[in-house]
Amino acid sequence: MPGLKHEKLCLGPVVGVDEAGRGPLAGPVVAAAVILPPKGVPRGIDDSKKLSASERERLCGRLKGCAIVGIGIVEADEIDRLNIYWATMKAMTLAVDAVADLLGAVPGHVLVDGNRLPRWGYAATPLVGGDAKSLSIAAASIVAKHTRDQMMIAHAATYPHYNWHSNKGYGCAKHLAALRDHGPTPLHRYSFAPVAQTVLPL
């Protein structure tokens, strides 16, 4: 279970950062940045992949009520321009910038899930598997995942063929079949091979 060991090694306030949506063929990449409160942290925070959708929804609502939360979103067209790596770095930067604006100051330290850091001016530490180690990163993973899932569910109403309410834009069989039958939408990532292959000239 994630804890506060890494947070206690840093000068505060400490921000945890994580992203959701690097792998899908459609939709944005979303990052969240979270500063947990000194008291009253919601119980049950864990790596978002280990939680059900209803648990993520509940915890996301609780976190937005008690923590300082920033969200960064980079849409599919910008992912195509930047590539997914730099788009993810931009989303993380936007999320931490949003927290700094809410805080009215530069955070003391940023803990980032993964092995790379954005090019920014914040004191920061990458933490591989951070969503299973750091409570702040785990909280960010919940907010990022729930936020992105809700965006894709909303988009599914506009583009029902692609089954996004279920697959959230990932390349499952139904999504790939819909791509072949109907072609890509404006929300698809044209730089990703399965999408690019559907628009190649015959």
| CB-based contact 164:26 (threshold 8 Å) | yes
19 is in an annotated binding site: yes
Closest C-alpha to 111, from 126, 101, 97, 100: 126
For helices 53-66 and 135-158, angle between their N-to-C axes, nearest 10 degrees: 120
Q: What is the C-alpha to C-alpha distance for residues 195 and 13, in angstroms, rounded to an integer? A: 42
113 is in an annotated binding site: yes
Strand order in the sheet with 68-74: 68-74, 29-35, 14-20, 109-113, 124-127
Binding positions are: 18-19, 113
Binding residues for a divalent metal cation, by number, are 18-19, 113
